[in-house]
Amino acid sequence: MLKSFHCAIVKRKVVASFLLLFLMASFYADAKKKTVELQIGSVVPHDLGKTSKGEKIDLNDLKGKVVILSFWASWCKPCLQELPVLDRIQRKLGDKIKIIAINYKQDRKLYRKIKHKLKDISLTMLHDPMGSLGKKFGVKSIPNMFMISKQGKLVYHGVGYGDKTLDKIIQKLNQEL
């Protein structure tokens, strides 16, 4: 009797383990499906959230301007090199362009501290602490940049930062403007 009781418990544990594995695999598959791979020419997600001042940022409101989204983090040296360059582009081109710097997967307290240090940068700053906005754009590494046409379609996507990247950005901006 004790042996059959022990067998029943083992069977239940095995069934529970398989059920748990099935649920985990299902959850993982769903999570992968929600990660987007945007293609050039794609219409991009329009709702970007709110700034720290509560200003809603919606790409539909920015149609008629070229928009650059740059996902960055404070620990990323290339990101910190890219931000001042994007700031100079924003200042030079003014209302023709809107550059939005999105802090990716960093703690709110750290983000506020870094944002204060970057107070001279005139870019619109957003915070994506959980990476949910990044997931909508398929961001897996940073810096990660998206250029969106005046019509709201993706015209450039670049990962990383360097002289060649900057040349591509300027070339694409000239085409779009």
Task: List pLDDT tens digits, range 11-26.
Answer: 555 444 444 344 444 4
In this predicted model, what pLDDT tens digit does every residue of 145-177 receive, in sequence order?
Answer: 999 999 999 999 999 998 888 888 889 998 998
Domain, as residue range, for 63: 47-176
The verdict on residue 124 lying in a domain is yes
Question: What's the CATH code of the domain at 91?
Answer: 3.40.30.10
Gap between the Cα atoms of 85 and 122, Å rounded: 11
Gap between the Cα atoms of 156 and 52, Å rounded: 27
Kindly state whether residues 10 and 61 are assigned to the same domain. Answer: no
| Distance from chain centroid for Cα 90 | 20
The verdict on residue 67 lying in a domain is yes
Kindly state whether residues 165 and 131 are assigned to the same domain. Answer: yes
Q: Has this prediction a pTM greater than 0.85? A: no
The verdict on residue 40 lying in a domain is no
CB 73 within 8 A of CB 103: yes
* Backbone torsions φ then ψ of 68, nearest 5 degrees: -115, 130
Gap between the Cα atoms of 88 and 144, Å rounded: 18
Kindly state whether residues 64 and 91 are assigned to the same domain. Answer: yes
Kindly state whether residues 13 and 53 are assigned to the same domain. Answer: no
The verdict on residue 96 lying in a domain is yes
The b-or-e profile of 28-39 (16+ CB within 10 A means b, else e) is eeeeeeeeeebe
